[in-house]
Amino acid sequence: MQRLLVTGGAGFIGSNFVHYVLGNTDDHVTVLDKLTYAGNIASLKNLPEERFTFVEGDITDAALVDGLVADTDVVVHYAAESHNDNSLHDPRPFLDTNIIGTYTLIEAARKHNKRFHHISTDEVYGDLELDDPERFTEQTPYNPSSPYSSTKAGSDLLVRAWVRSFGLQATISNCSNNYGPYQHVEKFIPRQITNVIDGIRPKLYGKGENVRDWIHANDHSSAVLAIIAKGRIGETYLIGADGEKNNKDVVELILKHMGQAPDAYDHVVDRPGHDLRYAIDSSKLRDELGWEPKFSNFDAGIEDTIAWYRENENWWRPQKAQTEAKYKEQGQ
Ligand code: NAD
Ligand code: TDX
């Protein structure tokens, strides 16, 4: 049994991780989450009370963070401002949470000599051409495009520097695009599913040729647990499940499973600086730690995700109108 402090555990991937850990280990989990617009306490229902504690608070609050880190064995750091489109309109919260928040956590982990795992994204590497035979590896140079990805890149570099300069007991993982339950309706897949439920046509940025490398949130969780258990201190591991798809194909798949015509979507204004393609080579994680993804059938995973949004309208409905109103203002 170990005690995990999970930051951002009321968000999409963090909450999936908390359910995964409590369902598959005997660990205790404390979630620290500010409950921003992206955090939802309803994502943390029906958890075993004796193994789960929720603390509402900000990762930039040094006194709060210090006390919680002192009381844990491992910090698993998911909390972030996570949406590229938001970062293009108001970058400031991304600097506060992603940079200062990460700094605050690693200072506490250093002081109390605690194991730290930093969750990051493949977006720190920039993008690839559609026909590039290479994929991202741990050696790919950093080249982030957006305020979001540049603040994630900055947070990764802080963790690396704290490892080298102060001996922080840290690992880093950079994962590709996640899908699954509890994802905010601002993000691509839930936005389109809930649009179709509401009789709104899905919205594809630009031509829809952009490629994302999809992985189920549970596969991300199992990889993070493997790195915490067996990862080498100071190392970075890329997490991916060979799930490259372009956005147009994903929209068409959603439409098919929801009984709509394959062309029942609209093209809208493209995202400025829109990364063309992400693709992960996760050989290091697989070869070194023996990790394998289990949710490799994307078609079935999308069907399950559609079913989850149909069955959990109470969870997403409160965010939907406001999210669409914001997109409408931006012509998206
Ligand atoms: P999310 O936006 O759904 O959740 C973020 C959570 O962090 C929310 O619960 C929010 O309330 C909390 N939070 C934000 N600011 C905070 C603060 N200052 N203090 C405390 N809590 C705060 O994000 P997500 O999609 O679940 O992403 C989680 C992590 O995984 C991020 O670090 C992101 O960069 C990374 N990641 C995401 C993806 C993806 O596909 N979504 C892929 C790779 C990596
Ligand atoms: O309505 C839409 N139409 C559309 O075509 C939306 C919301 C998005 N898109 C496109 C943009 C991207 O090419 O779909 C793709 C996925 O978009 P997002 O869900 O916004 O994800 P992305 O920008 O790829 O970033 C995600 O994956 C990496 C997460 O939000 C990040 O937190 C993570 O680091």
Q: What tens-digit pLDDT sequence spans the chain (332 residues)?
A: 999 999 999 999 999 999 999 999 999 999 999 999 999 999 999 999 999 999 999 999 999 999 999 999 999 999 999 999 999 999 999 999 999 999 999 999 999 999 999 999 999 999 999 999 999 999 999 999 999 999 999 999 999 999 999 999 999 999 999 999 999 999 999 999 999 999 999 999 999 999 999 999 999 999 999 999 999 999 999 999 999 999 999 999 999 999 999 999 999 999 999 999 999 999 999 999 999 999 999 999 999 999 999 999 999 999 999 999 999 999 99
Q: Which of 205, 79, 212, 215 has the alpha carbon at shortest distance from 151? A: 79
Residue 55 in contact with ligand 1 by CB distance below 6 A: no
* Residue from 31, 35, 36, 99 to probe ligand 1 pocket by mutation (most atoms less than 8 Å from CB): 36
Q: How far is the CA of 73 from the centre of ligand 2 (A)?
A: 33
Strands 52-56 and 28-33: parallel
- From the alpha carbon of 120, which atom of ligand 2 is closest? 34
pTM across the whole model? 0.99
User: Where is 121: in which H helix or E strand?
Assistant: strand 115-121
Q: How far is the CA of 187 from the centre of ligand 2 (A)?
A: 6
Q: How far is the CA of 188 from the centre of ligand 2 (A)?
A: 5
Collapsed DSSP state (helix, strand, coil) of residue 272? coil
Closest-CA residue, ligand 2 atom 20, reads: 187
What is the assigned CATH class of domain 3-179+215-239?
alpha beta
Closest-CA residue, ligand 1 atom 43, reads: 121
Q: Where are the domains of the chain?
A: 3-179+215-239
For helices 62-70 and 102-111, the axis angle rounded to 10 degrees is 40
